[in-house]
Amino acid sequence: MPGNATSASHAAASAADRAYAEIRGLILAGDASPGTPLREEALADIVGVSRTPIRDALRRLEAELYAVRTPGGRLVVADWNIDDVVEIFALRAMLEGHAAARAARRITASQLAELRSCNAAIEAAVANPEPDIAGFLAGNRRFHDLVLAASASVRLATMLTGLVEQPIVRRTATRYDRSDLARSAHEHGQLIQAFAARDEDWARAVMTAHIRRALHAFQDASPSK
């Protein structure tokens, strides 16, 4: 009996983790836009689990600010006002700047080669007759993930995972023109140069400026501007 109870507990945890990952993925991909209601029954059908793991996943997403309650008590995908966005970018600049500095000291030759390959894919997406925004976003996410991996810090990875930045990046990138996209890829190239030189101060400065520029691009692209 204890063995059966343990197995059931593990299965429930696994279902909740899967529900969390899938719903969070919908939010990060922009498939569930800000304000979209998060209904247990509909999500259970989408994920293919019962409502109990969906409920657990939604509690976690609400705690991590991916979801918020309306005045009427409904759970919806969170939106972020300009103060939220400024704070998110400020935290990203500090944390990713630190990650870049750590990466400059620790990056391997194979990781450096991966970064070069990733940025080449980003440049190709930008160079299309009609810039490939989806390709740019996927490459940008991978580039930053590779830098974080090279920093070799579980603590940093945990902290950065808690920042809901990808929907904001997506919203900004859809308003970028080709020169904005190319500038982002160019800044990635500068980071690669700093990593190759093993210069942590240079890497930190470039990453911090890269994130700060993204904030101003978001503000310039906001409808309220």
Confidence check: pLDDT of 2 > 60: no
CA 123 to chain CA mean position, Å: 20
Confidence check: pLDDT of 111 > 60: yes
**pTM, full prediction:** 0.74
Q: How far apart are CA 28 and CA 116, in angstroms?
A: 25
Higher pLDDT, 138 or 209: 209
Residue-range domains of the chain with CATH? 2-77 (1.10.10.10), 82-221 (1.20.120.530)
DSSP letters of 145-201? HHHHHHHT-HHHHHHHHTS--HHHHHHHHTT--HHHHHHHHHHHHHHHHHHHTT-HH
Mean predicted lDDT score pLDDT of the chain: 87
pLDDT in tens, 20-73: 999 988 887 677 888 999 999 999 999 999 999 999 999 999 988 889 999 999
Q: What's the pLDDT at 100?
A: 98
Confidence check: pLDDT of 3 > 90: no
pLDDT band at 5 (very low <50, low <70, confident <90, very high): very low
Higher pLDDT, 116 or 166: 116
Higher pLDDT, 2 or 165: 165
pLDDT in tens, 144-171: 999 999 999 999 998 887 776 666 666 6
